[in-house]
């Protein structure tokens, strides 16, 4: 039989089946492993990953996708791009310096970390100053050699492309991009030459920044980068890899002098296939066809995939078709083995990294002449999953239908409900409040653990939580805050807490993915229709309210944040799932209101995370995201005050959407980017309440009264004091009590000062 389609992978999860990567890293940081032991442990983990992929029948196995922390940091360090504050003197960057850049050390703060495109992975932002880039080491080459020597693998080195690397970096104006690129080109060329000399056949050059949209100047830059590389390193096969969305304009991208182009056929909305059908495929290029979803955890419908590959094979010769996941498998957990707590029909519907590679190999086998009978098991598993009654509930569908013909907004517009709310709440000017959570102390975490393990009865645990609430209320009253919170002591995590109480969720045992560095998260999974079961927050809110005459805010996580921080079923649109969550939360809000909780905060810190990568798609997303929020909140009485909270500082082009959420008050992060942020609200004539995050809760430092007062008066210079609330910039759960009390005391004092001045 002649082998036709090639099977490839773009990246394998680093963390290991049992998170051994994380454990090794943390043991090293804690001084429990010396450097030699650390390196050898890490090598063993890498070898395991390679052999898993080899056994799965992957032909183009990625090397250099592995890292000790982050692949963007690796790239910066490899080129000697170290910010001056670390006192770097040139040469190879040692582990101390490497981790100092990632995590900070006694002398210098850590580098900024930010989200990797629209995923929950975070990378370290390179700071490019006037350093001269140098190849301090050739990490892909080392990985290539290691794979060859120790695993007998002819690996496919993966590198971060120059264009994307620079797009993700800071330290120079965007207009300088071509100049900075010219400085880096020689080292990229050197790196690739060394790989070629060593005998590497294919190199995967990741350029996901392409999918964020290209202007003419950027296309030109790509042409010049890849033109120069092709001229300097002829014969080395480059596979220019895009993912997460469609690569546009494909017409131009197809003319780049690279041997292969990798495209995502799962998250492109069909645009990549349509473009190839329109343009045809150049006879001399390979297509890396991302057909298996690398972002989600569900078993693929292999019949659908076969149909897709069939269409591609009609346009691209099979010999030039590489079948692969849509992106690196970094974004999914390692293996479903061990998920023995789930019912069969659900467990069999899951596919993590190893299972996805097995799917790829099954596809390859069928496509390369094998019998379709091989798909029987996969088909049966999918059919069983689809047949689960909870996946398609009549009552949930009916609820969604009731939205039709219902008003989409609050009963009264803001301007009309504002006087009613003023009268009802009688708050002072510049009211003070907090964002919701108070310190999750060791005591709180231990109590929860004891309760979960059954050591503590429900009664005892409830009593403990009540006591925490009592203390928090007393503290807040003593501090003189105007609007109180119950403290969220009963919650581990703001999404998990709701997922555990809603229908439609499941929780895996080992579904961990890397969030940043050694930090892993285990997102809850929406596998069926989401529906309300019973009150989730009423008991605690009501208890807190019974202890004080001051208003206590009810506290919920919003529908879009719940959606964006979960793994979501892939048979419904995200919009539809968000609507289901929104309707479930609407019940909760109703229950709170009925219980007399009439100030309710619905947090949406993750609304921005769901933004599509291309600006042209933002509006559609924001429309349904914002509508989901309104579905949750728009049924309350005009006097009920709806708050929301968002953490991030980049509100660029979002103010109108925020306004369309129609929340009475929004609290935002402002302490780190004060001026800019307020200005953007001013520009759009934002008329609703704004809670000003006057201090940064991410550090234990207690800000002085004067510092916060300055923050407040700066804002008051541009916006109406009647609009303002004063609060920290996020929840306080990661802080300790002493600094929390001290900081809030200063905050209240700063608010009092400000009131005297206006």
Q: Which residues bind to ligand GLN, rule: CB under 6 A?
A: 435-437, 488, 494, 555, 603, 605, 645, 647, 730-731, 733
Least separation, in Å, of the C-beta of 732 and ligand GLN?
A: 7
CB nearer ligand GLN, residue 581 or residue 730: 730
Helix axes 574-594, 394-402, angle to 10 degrees: 80
Distance CA 337, CA 709 (A): 55
Nearer to ligand GLN, 561 or 746 (CB): 561
Q: Which does 733 bind (CB under 5 to 8 A by kind): Zn ion, ligand GLN, none?
A: ligand GLN
> Cα separations (Å) of 305 from 2, 366, 375, 668?
21, 11, 12, 44
State the number of CA atoms in the 13 A half-sphere of 520 facing the CB: 24
Partner whose binding site includes residue 65, from ligand GLN, Zn ion, none (CB under 5 to 8 Å by kind): none
Binding residue ranges for Zn(2+): 645, 647, 669, 730
State how far the Cα of 618 lies from the Cα of 622, in Å rounded to an integer. Answer: 6
Work out how close the CB of 648 gets to Zn ion at its nearest, in angstroms, rounded to a whole number.
Answer: 8
Q: How far is CA 681 from the centre of its chain?
A: 25
Q: What is the three-state SS of 32-74?
A: CCCHHHHHHHHHHHHHHHHHHHHHCCCCECEECCCCCCCHHHH
**Distances from the Cα of 36 to the Cαs of 19, 22, 40, 149, 366, in angstroms?**
20, 17, 6, 19, 45
Q: Which is nearer to ligand GLN, 120 or 190 (CB)?
A: 120
Binds 133: which of ligand GLN, Zn ion, none (CB < 5-8 Å by kind): none
CA distances, 618 to each of 208, 553, 630, 631, 747 (Å):
18, 31, 18, 20, 36
Compare residues 488 and 664 and give the one whose CB is closer to ligand GLN.
488
Q: Which does 432 bind (CB under 5 to 8 A by kind): Zn ion, ligand GLN, none?
A: none
- How many helices (H) and strands (E) the chain has is answered by 27, 21
- Give CA–CA dist 291/360, Å, rounded: 9
In SS3 terms, 92-104 reads as: CCCHHHHHHHHHC
Work out how close the CB of 436 gets to Zn ion at its nearest, in angstroms, rounded to a whole number. Answer: 8
Q: How far is the CB of 604 from Zn ion (least distance, A)?
A: 10
Spatial separation of the C-alpha atoms in residues 505 and 496, rounded to whole Å: 9
Per CB under 5 A, 585 contacts Zn ion? no
User: What is the Cα–Cα distance from 643 to 645, expressed in whole angstroms?
Assistant: 7
Close Cβ partners of 517 (under 8 Å, ≥ 6 residues apart): 25, 69, 70, 102, 103
Q: Which two tokens stand for residue 377?
A: 């098991």
Residue 692 binds which of Zn ion, ligand GLN, none (CB < 5-8 A, kind-dependent): none
Contact 567, 383 (CB under 8 A): no
Q: E strands within 260-300?
A: 260-264, 286-292
Instruction: Report, in Å, the least distance between residue 562 CB and ligand GLN.
Output: 12
Q: How far is the CB of 740 from ligand GLN (least distance, A)?
A: 12
State the binding partner of 496 from Zn ion, ligand GLN, none, CB within 5 to 8 A by kind. Answer: none
Taking the C-alpha atoms of residue 408 and residue 306, their distance in angstroms, rounded to an integer, is 42
Query: Closer to Zn ion at the Cβ: 444 or 647?
Result: 647
Q: Which of 462, 442, 460, 556 is nearest to 501 (CA)?
A: 556
**Minimal distance, residue 537 CB to Zn ion, in Å:** 18
Place of tokens 């989600």: 296
Q: Is position 698 annotated as part of the catalytic site?
A: yes
154 vs 493, beta carbon nearer Zn ion: 493
Sequence ranges of the binding site for L-methionine: 435-437, 488, 603
Q: How far is it, in rounded angstroms, from Cα 731 to Cα 729? A: 7
Least distance (Å) from ligand GLN to the CB of residue 730? 5
Q: Which is nearer to ligand GLN, 528 or 592 (CB)?
A: 592
Nearer to ligand GLN, 339 or 488 (CB): 488
Q: Which two tokens stand for residue 199?
A: 């005998």
If binding means CB under 5 A, how many residues of this protein chain bind Zn ion? 3
Q: Return the exposure string of 222-257: e unless at least 16 CB atoms fall within 10 Å of the residue's CB, then b.
A: beebbebbbeebeebebbbbbbbbbbbebeebbebe
What is the phi/psi pair of residue 202, to 5°? Answer: -105, 145
Which CB sits closer to ligand GLN, 68 or 497?
A: 497
In the complex with ligand GLN, the residue whose CB is nearer, 431 or 436, is 436
Known binding-site positions for 5-methyltetrahydropteroyltri-L-glutamate: 19-22, 115, 120, 519-520, 565, 609
Residue 356, binding choice from ligand GLN, Zn ion, none, Cβ under 5 to 8 Å by partner class:
none
Tokens encoding 204 = 């995967």
Among the listed ranges 243-251, 323-331, 373-381, 640-648, the one in contact with Zn ion (CB under 5 A) is 640-648
Task: Dig out the tokens for 714 from the structure.
Answer: 């700066």
List, in sequence order, the alpha helices (H) in 426-526: 442-452, 458-479, 496-499
Query: Among 658, 730, 748, 754, which residue interacts with Zn ion (rule: CB under 5 A)?
Result: 730
Least Å distance, CB 296 to Zn ion, is 26
Q: Which does 680 bind (CB under 5 to 8 A by kind): ligand GLN, Zn ion, none?
A: none
Min dist. Cβ of residue 602 to ligand GLN (A): 10
Q: How many angstroms separate the Cα of 531 from the Cα of each of 294, 626, 633, 678?
A: 28, 20, 16, 38
Q: Indicate which residue of 267, 331, 620, 698 is catalytic.
A: 698
Quickly count: other Cβ atoms within 10 Å of residue 636's Cβ: 21
Residues 672-709, buried b or exposed e (16+ Cβ, 10 A)? ebbeebbebbeeeebebbbbbbbbbbeeeebbebeebb
**Tokens read off for 149:** 């020597």
Going residue by residue from 598 to 637, which x/- string records binding to Zn ion, judged by CB under 5 A?
-------x--------------------------------
Distances (CA, A) of 686 to 173, 604, 657, 660, 683: 30, 18, 11, 10, 8
State which of positions 641-680 bind Zn ion (CB under 5 A): 647
Residue nearest ligand GLN, CB atom distance = 731
Kindly tell me which of 610 and 731 has the beta carbon lying closer to ligand GLN.
731
Of 481, 584, 452, the closest CA to residue 528 belongs to 584
| The dihedral sign for the CA sequence 149, 150, 152, 156 | negative
Q: By the criterion CB under 5 A, which residues form the site for Zn ion?
A: 605, 647, 730
| Residues marked as catalytic | 698
């Amino acid at each position: 039989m002649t082998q036709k389609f090639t099977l490839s992978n773009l990246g394998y999860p680093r963390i290991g089946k049992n998170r051994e990567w994380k454990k090794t890293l943390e043991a090293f940081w804690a001084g429990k492993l010396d450097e030699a032991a650390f390196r050898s442990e890490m090598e063993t983990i890498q070898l395991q990953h390679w052999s898993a992929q080899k056994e799965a029948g992957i032909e183009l196995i990625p090397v250099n996708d592995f890292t000790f922390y982050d692949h963007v940091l690796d790239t910066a360090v490899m080129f000697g791009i170290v910010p001056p504050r670390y006192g770097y003197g040139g040469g190879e960057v040692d582990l101390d310096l490497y981790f100092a850049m990632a995590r900070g050390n006694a002398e210098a703060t850590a580098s900024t970390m930010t989200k990797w495109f629209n995923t929950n992975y975070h990378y370290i932002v390179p700071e490019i100053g006037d350093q001269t880039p140098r190849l301090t080491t050739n990490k892909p080459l080392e990985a290539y050699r290691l794979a060859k020597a120790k695993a007998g693998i002819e690996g496919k080195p993966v590198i971060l492309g120059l264009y994307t690397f620079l797009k993700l970096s800071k330290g120079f104006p965007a207009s300088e991009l071509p100049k900075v690129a010219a400085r880096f080109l020689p080292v990229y060329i050197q790196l690739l030459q060394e790989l070629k000399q060593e005998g590497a056949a294919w190199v995967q050059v990741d350029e996901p920044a392409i999918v964020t949209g290209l202007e003419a100047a950027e296309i030109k830059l790509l042409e010049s980068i890849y033109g120069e590389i092709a001229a300097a390193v002829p014969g080395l096969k480059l596979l220019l890899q895009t993912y997460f969305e469609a690569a546009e304009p494909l017409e131009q991208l197809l003319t780049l002098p690279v041997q292969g182009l990798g495209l995502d056929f799962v998250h492109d909305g069909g645009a990549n296939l349509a473009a190839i059908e329109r343009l045809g495929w150049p006879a001399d290029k390979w297509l890396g066809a991302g057909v298996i979803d690398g972002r989600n955890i569900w078993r693929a419908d292999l019949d659908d995939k076969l149909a897709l590959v069939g269409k591609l094979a009609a346009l691209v010769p099979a010999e030039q078709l590489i079948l692969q996941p849509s992106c690196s498998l970094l974004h999914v957990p390692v293996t479903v083995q061990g998920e023995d707590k789930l019912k069969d029909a659900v467990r069999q519907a899951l596919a993590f990294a190893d299972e996805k590679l097995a799917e790829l190999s099954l596809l390859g086998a069928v496509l390369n002449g094998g019998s379709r009978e091989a798909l029987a098991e996969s088909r049966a598993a999918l059919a069983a999953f689809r047949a689960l009654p909870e996946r398609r509930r009549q009552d949930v569908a009916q609820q969604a239908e009731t939205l039709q013909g219902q008003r989409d907004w609050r009963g009264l517009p803001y301007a009309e409900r504002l006087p009613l709310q003023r009268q009802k709440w009688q708050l002072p000017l510049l009211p003070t409040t907090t964002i919701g959570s108070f310190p999750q102390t060791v005591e709180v975490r231990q109590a929860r653990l004891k309760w979960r393990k059954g050591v503590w009865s429900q009664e005892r645990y409830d009593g403990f939580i009540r006591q925490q609430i009592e203390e928090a209320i007393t503290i807040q009253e003593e501090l003189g805050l105007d609007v109180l919170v119950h403290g969220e002591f009963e919650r581990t995590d703001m999404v998990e807490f709701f997922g555990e109480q809603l229908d439609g969720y499941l929780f895996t045992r080992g579904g961990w993915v890397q969030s940043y560095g050694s930090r892993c998260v285990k997102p809850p999974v929406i596998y069926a229709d989401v529906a309300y079961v019973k009150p989730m927050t009423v008991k605690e809110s009501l208890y807190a309210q019974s202890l004080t005459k001051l208003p206590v805010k009810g506290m919920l996580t919003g529908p879009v944040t719940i959606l964006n921080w979960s793994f979501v079923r892939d048979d419904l649109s995200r919009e539809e799932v968000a609507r289901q969550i929104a309707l479930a939360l609407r019940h909760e809000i109703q229950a709170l209101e009925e219980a007399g909780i009439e100030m309710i905060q619905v947090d949406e810190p993750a609304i921005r995370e769901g933004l599509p990568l291309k600006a042209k798609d933002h509006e559609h997303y924001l429309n349904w995201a914002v509508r989901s929020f309104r579905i949750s909140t728009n049924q309350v009485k005009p006097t009920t005050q709806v708050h929301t909270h968002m953490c991030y500082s980049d509100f660029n082009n979002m103010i109108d959407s925020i306004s369309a959420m129609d929340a009475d008050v929004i609290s935002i992060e402002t302490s780190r980017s004060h001026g800019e942020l307020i200005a953007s609200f001013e520009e759009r004539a934002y008329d609703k309440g704004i809670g000003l995050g006057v201090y940064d809760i991410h550090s234990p430092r207690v800000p002085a009264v004067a510092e916060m007062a300055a923050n407040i008066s700066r804002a008051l210079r541009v916006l109406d004091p009647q609009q303002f609330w004063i609060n920290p910039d996020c929840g306080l759960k990661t802080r300790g009590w002493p600094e929390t009390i001290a900081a809030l005391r200063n905050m209240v004092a700063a608010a009092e000062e400000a009131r005297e001045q206006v």
